[in-house]
Structure 1
Amino acid sequence: MTRANYLFTSESVSEGHPDKVCDRISDEVVDAFFRAGAAEGLDPWGIRAACETLATTNRVVIAGEYRGPASVDEAVITDLTRKAIRDIGYEQDGFHWENAQVEVLLHGQSADIAQGVDAAGNKDEGAGDQGIMFGYACRETPELMPAPIFYAHKILRDLSTARKSGQGPAAALGPDAKSQVTVKYEGGKPVGVTQIVLSTQHLDPNLSSEDVREIVEPFIRNALPEGWISKETVWHVNPTGKFVIGGPDGDCGLTGRKIIVDTYGGAAPHGGGAFSGKDPTKVDRSAAYAARYLAKNVVEAGLADRCTIQLSYAIGVAKPLSIYADLTGGQVDPAKLENTLMEIMDLSPRGIRSHLDLNKPIYARTSAYGHFGRSPDEEGGFSWERTDLAAELRSALS
């Protein structure tokens, strides 16, 4: 039985969090292969990348597999790594864009994997791995995202924009930050926040938690809907006290360790695979995007208040093994919806890449503040947030 009144919490982390630094670098590498490939006239369907990054005190290690333009060499990857770190804002003794040692250990993709993924003869392109992927959408925000994760992201994104402007009190903050929002639900709808957690790095070691709260509170209040913060809302701003040592100098970072932050904040299932550093033949990424795309269009079409889509794949196999739809607040037969979704969208890896136009350098922008609930952009980024299937779904199932 679905509960109507409850509390639910989600967290987010900023682009300067150690794991997010690694996600950004890994996705910059993927983008570099697509960008250079296009400039050199290479077939984008043949580009492959699986890039993992580790970051610690003034050291970055990049490892993985690729198939793409030879021009994306160690020097290019080192340069884009430094530019990413500088853009995030790290110019500290323990982690500095100019001084950090960068080690690049990328090598060619396994031939055993390639033979399963590549199209050949009568064989269509297969999935890059086995796995299950989930997509989710709900009516809690205009972006059809769960409210806790959406607002946890918004708080940090707004603070980052202010920090990077170099003006105002937010300029005193550092790149590393985490947020957490506990949302109160009544009648199944979000109505307020009971707890707010914000931990942010600050450059002045003399700032107290009270000083930091004075800086961040206006941004938090502006990010949340009017009336959601009350006298009963409990605040936890830098609850440990001083937070000067941050980023990879304070805590080792790895690609792919923030998969719940990247998706729905725990409000929906997760298949377990990370996104960043992977080209779109890897269904961990592309099929999760497709599942979100389908779920969002189902809700946009008015067929459900909440929709969860599961897709499953086997390595080297083109077609999904299964599709599952779970609906709340709709009158549509889920089995009929599943069949309809398979009919209106080719959910093979090649079909997904084609439908969502994923063979592009659009991935670095996804590496912080969530892969979902964003606006499609002119360069093709966040194409999975479009709602262009809603009318067709409504016509087929209403």
Structure 2
Amino acid sequence: MSKINVDHVFTSESVSEGHPDKVCDQISDAVLDACLAKDPASRVACETMVAHDLVANSGEITCSGWEDIDTEKIAREVVKKIGYDHEDLKFWHDSFEYISRLHGQSPDISQGVSEGEGLFKDQGAGDQGMMFGYAANENPELMPTPIALSHRLLLELESIRKNKKLDYLRPDSKSQVSVKYTDGKPDYITCVVISHQTDDVPLDKVRRDLVEIAKEVLEPTGLLRNETEYFVNPTGKFCLGGPYADAGLTGRKIIVDTYGGVGSHGGGAFSGKDPSKVDRSAAYYSRYAAKNIVAAGLAEKCEIQVAYAIGVARPLSINVDTYGTGKVEDSQLQSVLESGSIFDFRPAAIVQELNLLKPDGWSYAQSAKYGHFGRDIFPWEKTDKAEDLKNAVKEMVNV
């Protein structure tokens, strides 16, 4: 079992929907949503790049009815909805140049992913690689506390900005929360950082307003202390932001998207990829399994790694690590997962079980901001298999 440093400070960051990289993720996933709505069998690998007065899409898309999908219109609608909707921001929905270099998926890849077309009968994984899922019993979200709180701060600031409660806020922002852990549990928040794009208003006012908001968001956690430090716009000014100030790319915020640096990451990004790509679907399913293990009380923390070969349905390996917090041996939990009786890690089974081709009540574009994990709107956040896991482990122990 892995050892963990039980007394330490851990920091995670989040970025807002107006951050250049997140603008790209949302455009890529909005294109994916449009393709799946038109053709649930779509194959999508859509990349986005933004810069001053430019949005560019590239990648591979195979979709029946593709000719009816206006990707430029999608990009402009996403940019406007985020809040880049007037020329004072120097990047806005009506002004940027749009370029598309999207084309069909390689038939070599398609035959390995399409059921019955490759060397194996079942639908294979869309690529090789390893994916991770993680959960911890630190909060209702079963997420690491630093990333959960960083997301909460920016969600509240987005609401305040869009409701014009603070009319000087602009779309681009970042947050960062540092948490002291004692005996492996969150003890208190040592530091909060907020960098938020604003109109040209006095820094003292921005700092006063945003510290007050941060305290309102974080006070209910019971983790604030008198010694908690706050840093708001620590450079002194943040007026120029978004794609005007920094270029953005799809998939460049993979740690923000996942667990804030806690645990491991296989390196694959999510946004713009249809669920035949296990970078996305298997990472979602691994979170689903890890969250149910923790919800079942079988471990306080759990990380699951799964690995695939392109075109092969059966996972090459499944590994469970509870960081020494498991109520049973990690090998026993691993055996339950490997059996496939509760969680089936084959790509086609994942897609079917989580209904990833026909999202119901959620969209991929929603997942492209404020993290893919920790919000109950997504099907991989359910804890509906906790009892099944407890019963399976009990049977194994009693044998």
Amino acid at match of 2:224: I
Which of the residues 9, 29, 34 maps onto 1:27?
A: 29
**Quick one: which amino acid aligns to residue 369 of structure 1?**
Y
Alpha-carbon separation, structure 2, partners of 1:395 and 1:320: 24
**Structure 2: distance between partners of 1:146 and 1:280:** 25
- Residue 87 of structure 1 corresponds to 81
Deviation, structure 1 residue 218:
2.4
How far apart are 1:105 and its partner, in Å?
Answer: 1.2
Cα distance in structure 2, aligned partners of 1:4 and 1:338? 24
89, 92, 97: which is aligned to 1:96?
Answer: 92
> Counterpart of 1:188 in structure 2: which amino acid?
G
Aligned equivalents of 1:309 and 1:5: distance in 2?
23
Partner SS state of residue 358, structure 2: coil
State the AA in 2 paired with 1:325: V
Structure 2 distance, partners of 1:393, 1:302, is: 10
In structure 2, distance between residues paired with 1:189 and 1:209: 35
Provide the rounded CA distance (Å) in 1 between the counterparts of 2:121 and 2:63.
22
Counterpart code for 2:34: A
Q: Which residue of 1 aligns with 2:175?
A: 179
- Which position in structure 1 is the counterpart of 2:145? 147
Aligned CA distance change for structure 1 residues 224 and 72 (closer, same or farther; 3 Å): farther
Structure 1 partner of 2:113: 117
| Residue in structure 2 matched with residue 211 of structure 1 by the alignment | 205
Deviation per CA, 1:156-207: give whole Å up to 9, x if none.
Answer: 01100111112x22x210000000111011221112111111000002x1x2
The TM-score normalised by the length of structure 1 is 0.93
Q: Which residue of the partner structure matches residue 388 of structure 2?
A: 392
Specify the code of the residue in structure 2 equivalent to 1:60. V
Distance 1:114 1:219, change over 3 A: same
Measure, in 1, the Cα distance between the counterparts of 2:240 and 2:37: 35
Matched, 1:329 2:317: no
Give 1:360's aligned residue: 358
Q: Find the aligned partners of 1:294 and 1:92 in 2 and give their Cα distance.
A: 46
Taking the aligned partners of 1:263 and 1:213, their CA distance within structure 2 comes to 29
Aligned to 1:224: 218
- Separation of aligned partners in 1, 2:53 and 2:35: 25
Alignment of 1:330-345 (within 5 A): 330-342=326-338, 343=340, 344-345=342-343
8 Å CA contact retained: 2:38, 2:65: no
**Counterpart-to-counterpart distance in 1, 2:148 and 2:219:** 11
Q: Which residue of 1 aligns with 2:283?
A: 288
- Which residue identity lines up with residue 154 of structure 1 in the other structure? R
Mind listing any 5+ residue stretches in structure 1 that lack a counterpart?
38-43, 377-381
How has the CA–CA distance of structure 1 residues 331 and 230 changed in structure 2, closer, same or farther, with 3 Å as cutoff? closer
The code of the aligned residue for 1:336 comes to: Q
Q: Counterparts of 1:235-250 in structure 2 under 5 Å?
A: 235-250=230-245
Measure the CA separation in 2 of the matches of 1:261 and 1:160. 17
Give the C-alpha shift of residue 233 in structure 1: 1.4
Give the Å deviation of 1:215.
2.0
Aligned-pair CA distance for 1:3 = 2.3
Match of 1:106 in 2: 102
Q: In structure 2, how many angstroms separate the alpha carbons of the residues matched to 1:130 and 1:373?
A: 26
Across the aligned residues of Structure 1 and Structure 2, the Cα RMSD in angstroms comes to: 1.3
CA deviation after TM superposition for structure 1 residue 79, in Å: 0.8
1:375 maps to 376
Q: For residue 309 of structure 1, report the CA deviation from its aligned partner.
A: 0.2
Aligned amino acid, residue 112 of structure 2: G
Correspondence for 1:3 = 5
Instruction: State the shift of 1:72 in Å.
Output: 4.9
State the SS of the aligned residue for 1:96.
Answer: coil
- The answer to whether the 8 Å contact 1:14/1:368 transfers is yes
Q: One-letter code of the match for 1:224?
A: L
Q: Which amino acid aligns with 2:204?
A: E
Give the secondary structure class of the aligned counterpart of 2:268: coil
**Which residue does 1:320 correspond to in 2?**
315
**Secondary structure of the corresponding residue to residue 120 of structure 1:** coil
Residue 125 of structure 1 deviates from its aligned partner by 0.6
SS of the equivalent of 2:371 reads coil
- Structure-1 residue corresponding to 2:397: none
Q: Which residue of 2 aligns with 1:300?
A: 295
Identity %: 51
- Aligned residue for 1:318, secondary structure, equals coil
Q: Aligned letter for 2:368?
A: S
CA distance in 2, matches of 1:264, 1:174: 26
CA shift, 1:336, in A, is 2.1
Please give the per-residue CA displacement for 1:24-43, whole angstroms capped at 9, x wherever unaligned. 00000000001122xxxxxx
Q: Is the 8 A contact 2:125 2:347 kept in 1?
A: yes
Residue 41 of structure 1 is matched in structure 2 by none
**2:234 partner letter:** P
Q: Which amino acid aligns with 1:68?
A: C
In the other structure, the counterpart of 2:191 is 195
How big is the shift at 1:73? 4.9
Q: What is aligned with 2:72? A: 78
Query: Given residue 122 of structure 2, which amino acid in structure 1 is its aligned partner?
Result: D
Structure 1 residue identity aligned to 2:147: I
2:20 is matched by which residue type in structure 1? P
Letter in 1 for 2:35: F
Alignment check: 8 A CA contact 2:211 2:230 kept:
no
Q: 2:228 corresponds to which residue?
A: 233
Mapped contact 1:31–1:360 kept (Cα < 8 A): no
* Residue type of the alignment partner of 1:187: D
Q: Which region of structure 1 is more displaced relative to structure 2, 110-119 or 355-364?
A: 355-364
User: How far is 1:225 from its partner?
Assistant: 4.0
How many pairs were matched up? Answer: 381
What SS does the corresponding residue of 2:140 show, helix, strand or coil? coil
Structure 1 counterpart SS, 2:226: coil
